[in-house]
Amino acid sequence: MPSSALRGSRPGAAHPTSSGPPDVLRRRLASPSVFLFVILTAQLMVVLDATIVNVALPHIQRSLDFSTSTLSWVLNAYILTFGGLLLLGARAGDLFGRRRTLLVGIAVFTLSSLAGGFAPAGWVLLGARAAQGVGAALAAPSALSLLTSVFAEGPERVRAIGLYTTVSAAGGAGGLVTGGLLTEFVSWRWVMLVNVPIGLSVWLLGRIVIAENDRRRGRFDLAGALTSTLGVTGIVLGLVEAGTSGWTSPVTVAAFALGSVLLGAFVAQETRADEPILPLRLLTHRTRTAANLSRALLYAGFYGLFYFLGQFLQDVEGYSPLFTGLAFLPMPASVFLSSQVASRVLLHRLSPKAVMSTGIAAATLGLSLATQVGAHTGYPQIVLFLVLIGAGSGTAFVALTSASLAEVARSDAGAASGLVNMSQQIGAALGLAVLVTVFETLTGHVQLQSGTGSTAVASTVVHALDAVLGVGALFALAGLVTVLVGVRATRARPVVPANSPGFAEEALETLAEACEA
């Protein structure tokens, strides 16, 4: 692949025949390998920040004086803006150019990470996390689209997509371990500041090695993006406030009312928009809707596990931040391995419905076992339910993703792909809000900090944690029921040898269509 294919013409650029140092540097950097490094590093930053703060939460809580309920917004502020604006970010790449959108997203992400790292108060950190989500929503769709546009179909694209998938799968584990390392040996603030040098490097290299794509004409459904994101935020705020101030509190009632009105406005906007950010016809397909709803329920069930288990291991079990991060490793490892087995073996021998049902059942069992944690729970017991949850979700998500994109018209492939990511992010935010509300209600707003809580307080917190994880298991069970009732049974895919050209094409067909649309 010629290196010139990776560079876009920019005003004021030196003539290509010049032998000056800037042009020599550009020629050396403008290679597919450097381009791939930029895209993979951008994706790693986005994925990492969904988990990197989890281990640091107890330290953030003490440093900035967060309550248990407001602490959850350190996660929700990111996943709400990220998930809610993903469709808008994908559309921005089409209208304004994917290179420009990616670089703007990386710049926003980097600057907000800098602000969060030096946050003097909780509200500044929450604002920075929300801005990080905006940057991630702009960068992530453009990164994947650029990847598939630069690498042609065949071995090059298979290798690039394989590396992209590996980075995405490993990002969750990397975030937990990296967060533990930085929190223990430096400061919790570095879980934010670590993005600054990485983001700056990606931005500078991206300006050199990424070419701009052809833009498309169309309208920007900003009203749809804002009403959907703010509407879900209002519902989440109402749930969190219900646990803190009660269900009849003026703030709780106002948040629910405002969120409901905004979501109604979103539906009305999408019915009359010329180019809606979410074509409502995508929701009329029974299997696709059931698959997306089941994905959201699964994320609602186990995302709270990261939030509560990280604090439990440090504040009750006495783990250090580093060991807490390492303790989570069995889960992402089992997600990665099980997803490979599901895509390469299970889906060729079993129906997609059977694969996703089995996976969700295993994750539900794992969450049920997690309800047995206590003040003296051994690590082998923790490993058991982490592996079950990871293996179950990894198996289910492969089949759920395929079902979520079933029978999608090429013109709707981008929106359908964004809806997959949106459903899991919104599901995670809503689920965490519910679990935090349940926890706050059961504990009476008691806060446990390492070494400061009495035995009675610890017992109250542990019992509340068991109940919360039980609610998480019910979410997963609801996801299983949704699949059993809503997903139509289809036959297993025919077995394609792994060494044949058709194997790679089949694995990448849906993803390529979604990215090129």
What is the Cα 498 distance to its own chain's centre?
29
| 282: confidence class by pLDDT, cuts 50, 70, 90 | confident
pLDDT value, residue 5: 41
pLDDT value, residue 455: 66
Dihedral, CA atoms, 217, 222, 224, 227, nearest 10 degrees?
Answer: 180
pLDDT surpasses 90 at 66 = no
Q: Are residues 267 and 408 in the same domain?
A: no
pLDDT digits (tens, 9 = 90+) for 246-270: 788 888 889 889 989 998 998 888 8
- Please give the average per-residue pLDDT across 313-337, as a whole number: 84
Residue 4 lies in a domain: no
* Calpha distance 375→450 (Å, rounded): 12
Residue 324 · residue 310 · CB < 8 Å: yes
| 3: confidence class by pLDDT, cuts 50, 70, 90 | very low
Q: Are residues 370 and 465 in the same domain?
A: yes
pLDDT surpasses 70 at 463 = yes
| Residue partners of 494: CB distance under 8 A and separation at least 6 | 348
Handedness of CA 352, 354, 360, 366 (dihedral sign): negative
In this structure, of 20-29, 79-88, 182-191, the range with the lowest mean pLDDT score is: 20-29
Q: Are residues 213 and 290 in the same domain?
A: no
pLDDT surpasses 70 at 514 = no
Can you give the pTM of this predicted structure?
A: 0.76
Residue 429 lies in a domain: yes
Q: Are residues 362 and 462 in the same domain?
A: yes
Q: Indicate the residue among 234, 252, 272 that finishes a domain.
A: 272
pLDDT digits (tens, 9 = 90+) for 7-57: 443 333 334 344 445 555 556 656 677 888 888 888 888 888 877 888 888
Radius of gyration for the alpha carbons in the chain, expressed in angstroms and rounded? 23
Residue 1 lies in a domain: no
Mapped onto helix, strand or coil, the DSSP state of residue 51 is: coil
| 165: confidence class by pLDDT, cuts 50, 70, 90 | low
Q: Which residue has the higher pLDDT, 217 or 433?
A: 433
Q: Are residues 511 and 454 in the same domain?
A: yes
* Calpha distance 433→437 (Å, rounded): 6
Q: Are residues 329 and 344 in the same domain?
A: yes
pLDDT value, residue 496: 42
Q: Are residues 208 and 247 in the same domain?
A: no
Determine the residue type at 410. Answer: R
Q: Indicate the residue among 184, 202, 218 that finishes a domain.
A: 218
Q: Which residue has the higher pLDDT, 421 or 180?
A: 180
pLDDT digits (tens, 9 = 90+) for 211-248: 766 666 667 778 887 888 888 888 888 887 776 677 88
pLDDT value, residue 491: 61
Q: Are residues 169 and 316 in the same domain?
A: no
pLDDT value, residue 505: 41
Residue 76 lies in a domain: yes
Rounded-to-5 percentages of helix, strand, coil across the chain? 75, 0, 25
Structural domain tally of the chain?
Answer: 3
Residue 296 lies in a domain: yes
pLDDT value, residue 189: 93
pLDDT value, residue 309: 85
Quote the domain boundaries for residue 84: 21-218
Residue 6 lies in a domain: no
pLDDT digits (tens, 9 = 90+) for 343-373: 778 878 888 888 889 999 999 999 999 888 8
Q: Are residues 441 and 367 in the same domain?
A: yes
pLDDT value, residue 99: 86
Q: Are residues 42 and 133 in the same domain?
A: yes
Q: Which residue has the higher pLDDT, 217 or 126?
A: 126
Q: Are residues 208 and 290 in the same domain?
A: no
Q: Are residues 233 and 302 in the same domain?
A: no
| 123: confidence class by pLDDT, cuts 50, 70, 90 | very high
pLDDT surpasses 60 at 511 = no
Q: Indicate the residue among 199, 218, 237 that finishes a domain.
A: 218
pLDDT surpasses 70 at 110 = yes
CATH number of the CATH domain containing 156: 1.20.1250.20
Give the pair of three-digit tokens for residue 40: 């993979």
- Write the DSSP string, 341-391: HIIIIIHHHS-HHHHHHHHHHHHHHHHHHHTT--TT--HHHHHHHHHHHHH
pLDDT digits (tens, 9 = 90+) for 394-413: 888 878 877 887 777 766 66
Residue 472 lies in a domain: yes
The closest alpha carbon to 400, from 381, 414, 421, 384, belongs to 421
pLDDT value, residue 500: 38
Residue 162 lies in a domain: yes
What's the mean pLDDT when you consider all of the chain? 78
HSE-CB at 481 with a 13 A cutoff on CA atoms is 7
Q: What percentage of the chain has pLDDT greater than the value 70?
A: 79
pLDDT value, residue 106: 94
* Calpha distance 412→231 (Å, rounded): 24
